[in-house]
Structure 1
């Protein structure tokens, strides 16, 4: 048995070696790939298109600002006294006319002071008359050598003093009269009350702030304009220069259809030190619609402004969404349906369009408007039909020749 087992082992080992060699031969006999990829079918790039046209383009510069009054003043007391009454026109938000009474202070002391000043003035005038009579008499005696020169000079000095007292007393009357008038506060212009800081019975002194008011004949907006935008505008610099039209819209409620017409009437004399922008001042007449039918424009209202700039001639407006990597667009040959890229140097850009010189493009050339992830130069383009807008390029026309 032992000899039989040894014989079987000797037989199995060679057979296993032969089987392994055969399997290895089978693996090594497979043809090796030469590394050359087989040609694949080229897939077309799919894109929507838009036909480009050379035309004129009106530049509109968009900026923003906050409506403010052109004249806002602080009302202060000029004399000391107790507030006796305030008018309805001196309530926050109330309208008032120029010269309208806003509030009164207790004036009894000032009336008394005026009476005293007037009586002192009358006394000074009487003293002056006596001094004039005495001086005339002394001059007559001196001419007859009945009085000395020193006596005549003495009466003259008394006369001059009496004249000065009359003038001082008259000034005191004027001062007392002005103080009495200052117990009443009148509106300096047509306007509205922004704030009221006092009430009836309150004791105020000279310089006490009573409230703030602002004019309503027109309002103003400071509009920042970037340096690159200035070359497309001709802003008024001197008195009498033509104004520039501005359209204002509500910056808070984007759905609002309210529009206010304004005009840039001047610019500030220096660039802002932080932003290096120039501020233009736009004026809005009758902001509270007292004499017109537009919607009320309130002080403090944030607005978006569109300023009418110059007209660019012979240019092409490219939708901003079709521009890649800031300055790259893709054009489609209308006949061959192949793709080519073009770098553009814009004359003007805004939120909707990038405007380039018309000489860069042919009239009617096709622009790829779809975002292309893979767009090698010369790729075949399959135009995506634009069913909603009835695009002329929908479907599969035989050829599309760009207009020469």
Structure 2
């Protein structure tokens, strides 16, 4: 009985082992399927490119440029230059006689102003006074001889009349002592000339100023022995100085030189040595026939009255000073005045039309200055002129206009351009 009861358990173990083997086979298969699916999904995600939504590029705004408005009016260029101050008239006064220089007058010092006719230096006149006395004595003797000869002629005239007969003209002249009378008259004339020369030499012992001037230097000392023509003093006329200045030749068409009927162009003169704001006025008097050597520019002479300010107390214009000269040019009608930045190479101007597009215009330039240009032809009234720089300017390109600061009213704020 016990053996028969234990026999039915064997089939139950084999079914259990069979189910265990089935579970072990299905698990790895599922794991492999999940791994393969993950790898496939990763490959698919990597292989698909990202989708970027492409939009049309935004249109760049037109460049912003400064503009000025063209207006026709009467205008003249700003003409200026630098020139050296020189004397209009100066003299090296010399002795006209030989002798000893006794002394200079007390006011004959360098830097002193002397009036015309003022004594400046005195020469020793002892010998010349003696020469004058001798010349006066010689004149008195010649006059006495003439008087005696006239008495002899009267006596000869009486004798000839008592002779009662006419003689030929040549013999009658001898009888009446006419040759002797002419000799006596000539001796008086010669003696008079000698007296006048001696008197003039005596006057020349005092050296006087020929005109109002300033003593520049004394060339000799008192006590020096001088000969005829020895220079004693250097004198400069203080009534007027000249300033020699160079300007381009085209500037002459804007200026007027002085004539007998009309004054020359007015010139404003300034110097670095003067206090700030001080100026002097001059007048253009001449254009020299030669050009300046280095720049081949025209040379002009400007006259300045009372240059040392002795009359009006103005700043002194010294000889050799380098002064700035600003000329009042003669204006011309119908010109366009633009900033120098408006002029492009080749005498071209950029104009902004009614549609805010760039247009090129060829113009006729009458004057090119440091800050302004004067245009005669090629523009129209109220045209907008571009003064800004552009990297790649093209005909017809669209721009945005902004009024330049030079044309904006005082205190106006700059608005935002759209």
User: Could you say which TM-score interval applies, normalised by the shorter chain?
Assistant: 0.7 to 0.9
With over 3 angstroms needed to count, the CA separation of the structure-2 counterparts of 1:153 and 1:194, relative to structure 1, is: farther
Q: Aligned residue for 1:239?
A: 260
Asked whether the 8 Å contact 1:135–1:152 carries over to 2, the reply is no
Q: Deviations over 1:11-47 (max 9, x none)?
A: xxxxxxxxxxxxxxxxxxxxxxxxxxx9896475354
The structure having more radius of gyration, on CA atoms, is: 2
Q: Aligned residue for 2:114?
A: 96
- Which of 63, 77, 82 is equivalent to 1:59? 77
Alpha-carbon offset, residue 366 of structure 1: 4.5
Alpha-carbon offset, residue 241 of structure 1: 3.2
1:214 equivalenced with 2:233 (yes/no): no
Asked whether the 8 Å contact 1:84–1:200 carries over to 2, the reply is yes
Q: Aligned residue for 1:368?
A: 387
d(CA) in 1 for partners of 2:72 and 2:88? 43
d(CA) in 2 for partners of 1:277 and 1:48? 36
Gaps of at least 5 residues in structure 1 are 1-37, 399-404
With over 3 angstroms needed to count, the CA separation of the structure-2 counterparts of 1:235 and 1:385, relative to structure 1, is: closer
- Which of 258, 268, 285 is equivalent to 2:305? 285
d(CA) in 2 for partners of 1:383 and 1:117? 97
Q: Deviations over 1:214-233 (max 9, x none)?
A: 22222223344433223333
- Which of 148, 160, 174 is equivalent to 1:130? 148
Alpha-carbon offset, residue 318 of structure 1: 1.6
Q: Aligned residue for 1:348?
A: 367
Asked whether the 8 Å contact 1:99–1:186 carries over to 2, the reply is yes
d(CA) in 1 for partners of 2:382 and 2:257? 34
Alpha-carbon offset, residue 131 of structure 1: 2.2
Asked whether the 8 Å contact 1:332–1:368 carries over to 2, the reply is no
1:248 equivalenced with 2:266 (yes/no): no
Most deviating of 220-229 and 200-209: 220-229
d(CA) in 1 for partners of 2:156 and 2:275? 93
- Which of 293, 313, 320 is equivalent to 1:300? 320
RMSD, aligned CA: 3.5
User: SS at the partner of 2:146?
Assistant: helix
User: SS at the partner of 1:298?
Assistant: coil
Most deviating of 382-391 and 83-92: 382-391
Alpha-carbon offset, residue 387 of structure 1: 8.8
d(CA) in 1 for partners of 2:262 and 2:138? 58
User: SS at the partner of 2:111?
Assistant: coil
Q: Deviations over 1:159-200 (max 9, x none)?
A: 332222211111110000000011111111111122321110
Provide the aligned length of Structure 1 versus Structure 2: 355
Q: Aligned residue for 2:376?
A: 357
Gaps of at least 5 residues in structure 2 are 1-55
Q: Aligned residue for 1:23?
A: none
d(CA) in 2 for partners of 1:69 and 1:125? 51
Alpha-carbon offset, residue 48 of structure 1: 3.9
With over 3 angstroms needed to count, the CA separation of the structure-2 counterparts of 1:326 and 1:298, relative to structure 1, is: farther
Asked whether the 8 Å contact 1:96–1:187 carries over to 2, the reply is yes
Once the two structures are superposed, the pairs formed by residues 175-186 of structure 1 within 5 Å of their partners are 175-186=197-208
Q: Aligned residue for 2:95?
A: 77
User: SS at the partner of 1:360?
Assistant: coil
Once the two structures are superposed, the pairs formed by residues 115-126 of structure 1 within 5 Å of their partners are 115-126=133-144
With over 3 angstroms needed to count, the CA separation of the structure-2 counterparts of 1:89 and 1:227, relative to structure 1, is: same
Q: Aligned residue for 2:48?
A: none
Most deviating of 57-66 and 179-188: 57-66
Asked whether the 8 Å contact 1:142–1:152 carries over to 2, the reply is no
